[in-house]
Structure 1
């Protein structure tokens, strides 16, 4: 399984045209911030905040085809909204490696398609 679903990414590129590169850069820049916010919400045991933070992270990840990242965010969002006890810290700590893979893929993709 690749870090990013290329079909989703290609569809996004088609619709965004010139803004595509900017959207990917913003996604990569914002990803680490979401992780920091999730960690802070977890420390405060604030499930509502965790769900609210995970939601846009999930949605944006799905749009660019970062399915593994979207899946983690969705699991956090759904369980936090239900008030479920879960090892949220373990889930949150899966994000950095998943994001690294996505970012590596996106940078290579941009070099090969946007710049080329």
Structure 2
């Protein structure tokens, strides 16, 4: 799970016997076509054309609205906002993944902006 993706959810209420499902999976962009990767399948795996429209956050909002929440919405999302502004701790596993994919990060301007320090190229 992560805000760049989506999820499927099923809720079973034992008291009422009600089953409720939500499909909040990511979707193809409006301009996507069935043949957009023809001749170059790697476009489906890396770069801007491989990105779907995320639906995770709107799914969380829908659940919050439908089933109510005991906390204000802001209190639920503030920790994530803080991480976005302040960054995260890079543990040894993530550091290894980033190092092993450094060539991919350097070859993509958006990824490079997010993950590469321009003063050290690391």
TM-score of the alignment, normalized to the shorter chain, above 0.5: no
Q: Which has the higher strand share?
A: 2
TM-score (norm. length: structure 2): 0.28
TM-score (norm. length: structure 1): 0.29
Structure with larger RCO (C-alpha < 8 A, sep 6+): 1
Structure number with larger C-alpha Rg: 2
